[in-house]
Amino acid sequence: MQRAASANPFCDGRRVSKGDRILRIIVTGGAGFIGSHVVDAYMAEGHDVLVLDSLWEQGGGRRANVPERASFVHMDIRDENVSRIFSEFKPEVVNHHAAQHSVAISTRDPIYDAQVNVVGLLNVLENSVKAGVRKVLFASSGATFGNPERLPITDDTPQQPTSPYGITKMVAEHYLRYYRSEKGLDFTALRYGNVYGPRQDPNGEAGVIAIFAAAFLRHEGVRIDWDGEQTRDYVYAADVARANVAALERGAGGRYVIGTGVKTSVNSIYRALVGASGFDAPVTHAPRRPGDARDAQFDASRARRDLAWEPSTPFLDGLQATYDYFKKAAIPR
């Protein structure tokens, strides 16, 4: 942890140029893929950011993702010392991105999933109340909806999660509602579609764009399950980060679907990467994975209305930027 000494050892008392007060914000999971884009966006707005992250070996977190000017605490969200960090930093807002983030791991080890995604969340919420935090922003998921009968998914679509991960994310939304009504801790939950962009872990079991981009750059083949015509709603990480900026002051007590409304198939991702790289990666076909939905598509009208948010990155631009990032970065193995 590096910060100048003052009444608050973490805060240097800067003000942002437009006269707004700097917020002290703890971003849990801020060394990870999405969390680090949120940290970048908050730093760009002039806020004072502390990242709390365990750099979990099965997650996408890397110390190098955290900008130098942000404070960094290497700690598990379940640790009892979280209380000390919260009471010293005195955050006004907590942005909670730390999680067991994988559907596949949650099905193999639902107990671990619940320990991090439920008990870890509760440790963050209890300490938020004690430290007088005004608001918690939460990274929820389209996985809370399961395989809905109708598309697009809206904020009124019934939540029927089909994995332990989707269940713990849904439970987390209920805890947030409880803490708001009973303890006065405000929240906004953002239910992401499939987020993609620079810094996504290409070695995980999910994140097809990062996995494919890395394979193309290594001149390796890719595996396409089912017939490749299954679609997802891919939303660019920088657009997601802007939703997290908007939710600092808007969307009190709200839960919002964050997606583009555009369905993109695995085959079209493959073709776009052939175009970006000039390499015809060999394809192996595999059967549909159990539980895989055919299509996903999100209608973010409520976020547009309440958060004044909309995605601004066309898919092919985001894909090119992601590919260019992996080309420049040493791809972590």
Active site members: 165
Query: Which x/- pattern, by CB under 6 A, does the window 267-306 give for ligand NAD?
Result: ----------------------------------------
Q: Which of 10, 23, 27, 32 binds ligand NAD (CB under 6 A)?
A: 32
- Cβ of residue 131: shortest distance to ligand NAD, in angstroms? 17
- Cβ of residue 200: shortest distance to ligand NAD, in angstroms? 7
Q: Between residues 57 and 156, which has the closer beta carbon with respect to ligand NAD?
A: 57
Integer Cα distance of 29 and 101 in angstroms: 10
Integer Cα distance of 59 and 70 in angstroms: 20
Q: Look up residue 30 and give its amino acid.
A: G
101 binds ligand NAD (CB under 6 A): yes
| Nearest alpha-carbon partner for 48 in 65, 25, 15, 28 | 25
172 binds ligand NAD (CB under 6 A): no
86 binds ligand NAD (CB under 6 A): no
Integer Cα distance of 292 and 295 in angstroms: 9
| C-beta neighbour count of 91 within 10 angstroms | 27
139 binds ligand NAD (CB under 6 A): yes
Which residues make beta-bridge pairs with 192?
141, 258
| Residues 53 and 116 sit within 8 Å (Cβ to Cβ) | no
Integer Cα distance of 291 and 233 in angstroms: 17
For 176, the 3-state DSSP assignment is helix
11 binds ligand NAD (CB under 6 A): no
Residue 220: partners with Cβ closer than 8 Å, 6 or more residues away: 281
- Cβ of residue 14: shortest distance to ligand NAD, in angstroms? 26
51 binds ligand NAD (CB under 6 A): no
For 94, the 3-state DSSP assignment is strand
232 binds ligand NAD (CB under 6 A): no
Task: Using the rule CB under 6 A, give the single segment among 3-11, 14-22, 25-33, 278-286 that binds ligand NAD.
Answer: 25-33
Q: Between residues 135 and 169, which has the closer beta carbon with respect to ligand NAD?
A: 169
For 46, the 3-state DSSP assignment is coil
Task: Using the rule CB under 6 A, give the single segment among 97-105, 146-154, 289-297, 312-320 that binds ligand NAD.
Answer: 97-105
99 binds ligand NAD (CB under 6 A): yes
Task: Using the rule CB under 6 A, give the single segment among 2-10, 53-61, 211-219, 310-318 that binds ligand NAD.
Answer: 53-61
For 198, the 3-state DSSP assignment is coil
Integer Cα distance of 219 and 237 in angstroms: 25
Which residue ranges make up the site for ligand NAD (CB under 6 A)?
28-29, 31-35, 53-56, 59-61, 76-78, 97-99, 101, 116, 120, 139, 141, 192, 194-195, 201
